Each structure stands twice: as C-alpha cells, then as structure tokens.
Structure 1
Amino acid sequence: MSRKDNAHRNDLSRRRLLKGTALGAGALALPGIAYATAADSGPEQNKARTKAEAAALTHPGMLHSADDFARMAEKVKAGADPWNSGWKRLTANSHSAAGWTPRPAETVVRGGAGQNYHQLYHDIHAAYQNALRWKVSGDTAHADTARDILNAWSGTLKTVTGNADRFLASGIYGYQFANAAEIMRGYEGFDLARFQDMMAGVFYPVSDDFLKNHNGACVTNYWANWDLCNMAAIMAIGILNDDQAKFDQAVDYFHKGEGNGSLAHAVPFLHDGGLAQWQESGRDQGHTVMGIGLMGTVCEMALKQGTDLYGADDNRFMKACEYVAKYNNGGSVPFTKYTWGHGQNCDYREQTVISEGGRGQVRPVWERVYHHYHYRKGLETPYMSAIARKQSPEGGGGDYGSTSGGFDELGFGTLTHVLEA
C-alpha cells in the first residue's frame, strides 16, 4: 500500500471517528444530484415525480435488461453451455416450481423475539426464480406464480422490524423483492402501483434511516455489508418506482458515504499487483464474499441505468474482487492492519491478520463481476477467472444451505450474467 493511500485512509478514519453519530445530518451533496429526505419518501411523492425524471430510468433495468433475457432464452433454447447448465440449476430448485404458495405476513421480524423473516425470503426467491423461468421459457404458469406471490405480500405487509438485524432485512430483502417485481413489470394482473407503495412505505424508510443514523452507533461500527445491502435496496426501489432521487441517493453514498459501504471505506487499502483489501477481510471470508456480491449488485444495477460504478477510482472494486478471489481460492495476499471505532462510543478495535474463517465458502457472486471486468471491459482478471470457473454453474436461494445466509444472493449468475463461454 502506498504512503499516500495510507495517509488518505487515516484521514478518513479520523473524520469518521470524530463525526460519530452525526451522520444523521445527511450525506455530503454533489452538484446536480437530488437527495431523498423524510419529506419525499412516501408513495404520494413518488407518484409526483416529473415525467422527465421517470423517463430517465430504464426498464427492465436492475440486474437484468431486455437484452439479457433475450440472450438467456436464445442460449437455453440452443442447449448451449454454460447457460444451459445454469438453467438446469434453476429448474432443479424447488423454489422455481410453478404453484408455490406464498405465506405473507403483516409484520416481518428479523432479530429478537418472534422472528418470522424466513417466510419472506423463501417467498422472494420463489417469486424471482419463477419470474426468471418465465422470461427464459415463456411459460406463463411461472409468471402467474411470481405475480401471485408479489401481490400477496403487497396486499399484506405493513412493517419490517426486529432488533438491529431489521436493517439487514430491509436491505437484503428490499433489493431482492424489487428485482423480482421489476421482472414482472407490465404483466397482466400484477399490481405494480401497490407493490411500489409497499417498497416506498415499508422498506425504504428503514434503509434510509440506517444509512443516515447507523442505529445510533459510531459510523464505523457496522460492517460494509450492512451499508451495502441498504444501498442496494434504495437503488432498486428508486428504479422500480421511477424515483430518480432515490437512485441518486444510493449512487452518492457509494462515492461519498461516511459508512463502511462506500467504495473508499469498503476497499480501504490498495496493494501491489492489482489487489485491494476488503473491509471485512479480517472478520471472516463468508461475509467478505457476501460483500463482493452486494457491491456487485449495486454496480450492476447502476450500470443498467447508464452509471458506471464498476470503474470508479481506477477499478478499485475490481482490485478488491481479485484480492478476495485469490485468497478464497487458496492463494496468499498481503494484509494491512485495519482499525475502527466500535459501539456508540467509537471504542478502538483493530485486526492485524486476514481471517481464515469461512475461507473458500461458495456463494453465487463471481460470474457477474468476472464477466463484467473480463468480457465487457477486456481486463485481466486471473483470480476472478479461476474462482468463477471453479464454482460454475451458479445456483441460487435454496442451493447454498437452508439458513438465511444461503439466500443472501439471488444467484444463478451462470445463466444470467455469463456473456461468453
């Protein structure tokens, strides 16, 4: 790591520690970017967006575009690999079966007494997988299933709550739910307006509050994943609801946010050899790989709207992907001591070695970032290339264990994100 980069990182750390919980005052503004506030977060304000703002957003325009769906259908129809192998993983997953019966709840709880959030994530993945099967195969039985799941929840859900883990629920399930709904936009019988109201009224306020206040804790207290999932939710809700201000809010936080999910804080150290250290590398590898997936999600959704976050700061995220891929595929990487402020009082904490916990854990995150950097951009990505090929074809929710961690990613990247064989 260079002396200049280290000095910059130390300056950022000092400012963040001094700031503490003052993040609630709002993020720094960039010229020409609109910001969502408590006054403009409701469904009435979403509907009041100008036609010009609505026209600026592309649909479908989250993780998948119309061209992506056309490619998937063409490759699967031809029986071409690796897409066909990815398709077989999708069709073998029980969540993708037509006729899935949803179990909507008025209140979803994650963390503390009365947890029931498993009902939500199982239904979200069933909706997404059925929507994907419809777009590839044309079978409307899957479209009807996805539509009915989405309608059931938008007609029932009123609150996402729990202990601090409620912010993980708002973020992870917020972006995933919005992606399923984006695929079903315009399908007969899908109540898009009601679903948009649910996303703006139930999920967005929780995600927005977290990025501004971090649950009353020191701004450095929460790991990068917490910020990233809520950034993803706000961006996805902005796209789904044709709300440019929310989309811009997520983009601005990526560049200038004080929390650990912004690019400079999620990737705090640059190393020689085109590698960059991930913020959670000293914690464990499961959450580190999860972070690669979430930042990849944010970057991909932004790219579909014409905003390149993948390439920010000289491909800083790519260097982190290479670092994490190399270590989790058995290679050795450098590690710079990481320090942060913990809890409400910013108590000093440090990590001096990279964690071996969860090393080599398989999560369906690599196809998306590998194919962007290597095939779209033509860059050398030896470590991403190796781990993506090793873990292909990627599955999705239900293929990586029965606990919530197995549903952190929508997955199926071999079918959806592979650009060339």
Structure 2
Amino acid sequence: MARITHLVTAVLATATLLLPTPAAAHQDSPRAAAPVTGQSSAAAFQHPGVLLSRPQLDLARSKAFAGTQPWKSAYDAMRTSSYASLSWTPRPRAVVECGSSSNPNNGCSDEREDAMAAYTQALLWYVTKDARHARKSIAIMDAWSAVIRDHTNSNAPLQSGWAGANFSRAAELIKHTYTSWPQVSRFATTLRTVYLPEVTSNVGCKNGNWELIMTDAAIGIAVFLDDRAVFDRAVATWRARLPAYIYLASDGALPRYPADCPSIDTRAELIGYWQGQSTFTDGLAQETCRDFGHTGWGLAAIAHVAETARHQGVDLYPEAQPRLSQALYFHARYELGTAVPASLCGGSVKKGLGPVTEVGFNALHTRSGMDMPTTRRYTESKRPAGVSHFLAWETFTHADNPA
C-alpha cells in the first residue's frame, strides 16, 4: 500500500510541478509572489551564461573599481588569494579516486583546487583584462583535459560535481570572452566524456545535496557544450529534487519522496531519510538534522541551477521561490541565534550554514523585491563570501546585482 500511495503521490507531484507552492507568511515573506513563466528552452544559448551573465560581470567590475562595498572587499579577497597567483601549478592525474569524505584522497583536493583556480583566474581575466590570467586559466584546464580519464570510488559523482561546476564556469568565461584557446575542443570532450556521465548518474537515494550539486555542474556543462538535451534533463532533475529537498506544509503531513529511489517508499523510510525528523515545518530541508553545512550546499546549488537557467531564458525562480525563501529564512534564523525547539532535531542542530545565500538572496530580494530581513542580516554577516568546494566569490559576483 505504501508503494501504491507513493506512486500516486509522485504522479500528482509531477502534474503540479510547474505550479508555485504558496508559502506561509513569515518575516521573510514576499511582497508579491511572482507568476510562473512559460518560456521555451528551445532558444539559442546565451554566452557567457553559466551562473554569470556579461551584465552581472560588468556591474561587479564597475563597483569594485569604484571602491564601492561590498564589491571592493570581495574583489580584494579574490585577487589576493592563492587561487589568483600567476605561478599556480596544476596537479592533474588520469584517475581521481575519492572515497567517502574524500578518503582516500587521490587527487580529490588537487582537482577541486585546480578547478577553483581556473575559475578565479577566468574571473580576474574578465575584470582586469590582463591576458596572463586568461592564459593561466587555460593552462590549468588544458593540463587536466590532457590527462584526466576517470573518477572512481564512492564519492566519484559528487567529486565530479564539485570540480565540474567550477570548470564549466571557467571554460564558459574563457571561451566567450578571450580570443584564443586552441585546445577548447579537447576540454569540451573531457567535460562530455569524463564529467557528464558522473554528474548525470542516478543518486536518487543519496542525501539531496549530491544530486543538486551534480545538477549544478550538469547545467553548466550543458550551456558550455550548447547541448539542449542535457540542459533540459538538468532542469527536469532540479524540478524533481527541489520539492523532495525542502518541505512546505502544502505538501501534506510528509515531505515528497525522492525520485528514482525505490528503497524509500514507506513513512518510516522517509523519516529515516530526513535524518529521523518526524515533524515537519515550512523551510525544513532533508539534511537539516544532519547538519547545516551540507544543507547549505544544497540550497546554494538550487540557486545556482536557477541562475544559470534564467540566463538561458528559463526562469525557475518562481518555482523555487516558496521553498527557497522559506529554507533560507528557516536556517538563517537559527544561525543568528533563535532558540531551537525540542521538536526540531531533538532540540539541537549542528550549525555552520556558511556563506551560501548570496545567489538566492540576490535573486529573490534584489530582483524580485521580496522583503527578507533575516536572510539579509545573515547574508551580510558572511561577506565577503570566499571559496569552498564549488562556491567561489559570490559576494563579488552576485551581491545586490540586479543585472
């Protein structure tokens, strides 16, 4: 009976997936809900358009050079970081082996750090117009495309998502703003044959941050490759995972079941998947009672996918708005000191959300006009946002950026 109920629920969820879910009122509630848009994804891709658009880059550049905060301090943090060094030396390898928590760590940290450096150098190229940064970004990507052939062990899909997200951002910027990259086709082949199979693999039963981070990489790779089928698949994956990651009361007594996970089809199994939490409230995430750190990665990836899709004419933010705004508020208020009730995670949460809110807050507040004082206070307290795994310099790129 549980499996039948689950299937019926899944059918109904699919039928209503494109409709925004009403959010309960809270301190960060919107002034007015934006309507769902019905753009077709058939238009030509816009470049550069992976996480960032040219107008966003131009605004950030002008603000930093004018000495305006928070862009100036965020830019200074980026340009003085080790990732900005013109002496950065890549450390590629043919097989990157990453177990749980990157143990064993055979190239895992090296790959993530090199992808971060490639993206940082690409940003610095655009901002400074110093071609040395473009050439350094290219040298890092060329070093990896000449060598990398596979990712192995249990963390291979997530590792590919972390690295693939930043590599696709770097590649997009260089390809569409710099004059010469002789090995661009080889790098494109590497993204398609080495990274894409991993970030589109089935991880339906894993904690939700996995699939969201992988989809962040997948949609970035799709735009770089001008691959409409991969792009549409990434959007579909995001649409299925979003309501299975963030709960709203309108979902009913229980959260949505994760797609493509037949081993979770009873109430007890679903509660176990939600880290043992059996009472649900607006904005609670599937990993909240695990820790806020992994939850923050999931929320950031939700916003990243929506941001990239928006640059390509597919506005996912109306769908994300009710859940993402509630989740940002839910976690920000506990980070800022709200007492944890006994009904939440047994009365104790593991904080550490991190600087993950810039992109989502900018989209919902700056562009859409939502009044989000709690999320604003938390976001501003984390500025300038630095780097972590697949997150890089988002105060510089997305703070108060309506472009």
Q: Note if contact 2:83-2:120 (Cα within 8 Å) is conserved in structure 1.
A: yes
Partner of 1:312: 319
Q: Note if contact 1:172-1:233 (Cα within 8 Å) is conserved in structure 2.
A: yes
> How far has the Cα of 1:284 moved from its partner?
0.9
Alignment partner for residue 229 of structure 2, among 229, 245, 254? Answer: 245
User: Per the alignment, do residues 420 and 58 of structure 1 end up closer, same or farther by CA in structure 2, a change over 3 Å counting?
Assistant: closer
Matches within 5 A, 1:201-280: 201-210=193-202, 214=203, 219=204, 221-256=205-240, 262-270=241-249, 275-280=282-287
Asked if 1:322 is matched to 2:329, the reply is: yes
Q: Note if contact 1:73-1:136 (Cα within 8 Å) is conserved in structure 2.
A: yes
Partner of 1:365: 356
> How far has the Cα of 1:294 moved from its partner?
1.5
**SS where residue 391 of structure 2 aligns?**
coil
Q: Note if contact 1:57-1:239 (Cα within 8 Å) is conserved in structure 2.
A: yes
Asked if 1:138 is matched to 2:129, the reply is: yes
1:38-64 Cα offsets, whole Å, 9 max, x none, are: xxxxxxxxxxxxxx9996211100111
Task: Determine the C-alpha separation between the residues in 2 that align with 1:99 and 1:318.
Answer: 41
Alignment partner for residue 412 of structure 1, among 384, 393, 399? Answer: 393
**Bigger relative contact order, structure 1 or 2, given CA contacts below 8 A and separation 6+?**
2
Q: Aligned partner of 1:205: which letter?
A: P
Task: Determine the C-alpha separation between the residues in 2 that align with 1:137 and 1:75.
Answer: 13
Matches within 5 A, 1:172-211: 172-186=162-176, 187=178, 188-210=180-202
- Report how many residues are paired: 343
Give unpaired runs (5+ residues) of structure 2: 17-39, 251-280
Partner of 1:75: 63
Partner of 2:346: 353
Q: Note if contact 1:293-1:409 (Cα within 8 Å) is conserved in structure 2.
A: no
> How far has the Cα of 1:269 moved from its partner?
3.4
User: Per the alignment, do residues 13 and 197 of structure 1 end up closer, same or farther by CA in structure 2, a change over 3 Å counting?
Assistant: farther
Alignment partner for residue 158 of structure 2, among 168, 181, 201? Answer: 168
Q: Note if contact 2:91-2:114 (Cα within 8 Å) is conserved in structure 1.
A: yes
> How far has the Cα of 1:176 moved from its partner?
1.7
Give unpaired runs (5+ residues) of structure 1: 1-9, 20-27, 31-51, 257-261, 338-351, 397-406
Q: Note if contact 1:54-1:242 (Cα within 8 Å) is conserved in structure 2.
A: no
Alignment partner for residue 90 of structure 2, among 89, 97, 102? Answer: 102
Task: Determine the C-alpha separation between the residues in 2 that align with 1:335 and 1:59.
Answer: 49
Q: Aligned partner of 2:236: which letter?
A: D
Asked if 1:294 is matched to 2:301, the reply is: yes
Matches within 5 A, 1:11-22: 15=6
Alignment partner for residue 368 of structure 2, among 358, 363, 377? Answer: 377
| RMSD (CA atoms) | 3.1
User: Per the alignment, do residues 11 and 356 of structure 1 end up closer, same or farther by CA in structure 2, a change over 3 Å counting?
Assistant: same
Q: Aligned partner of 1:89: which letter?
A: A
Q: Note if contact 1:270-1:277 (Cα within 8 Å) is conserved in structure 2.
A: no
Q: Answer with 104-113 or 375-384: which moved more.
A: 104-113
Task: Determine the C-alpha separation between the residues in 1 that align with 2:229 and 2:368.
Answer: 29
User: Per the alignment, do residues 334 and 264 of structure 1 end up closer, same or farther by CA in structure 2, a change over 3 Å counting?
Assistant: farther
Partner of 1:93: 81
Q: Aligned partner of 2:158: which letter?
A: L
> How far has the Cα of 1:15 moved from its partner?
2.1
Q: Answer with 141-150 or 186-195: which moved more.
A: 186-195
Identity %: 30
1:303-327 Cα offsets, whole Å, 9 max, x none, are: 1112222220653222111111112
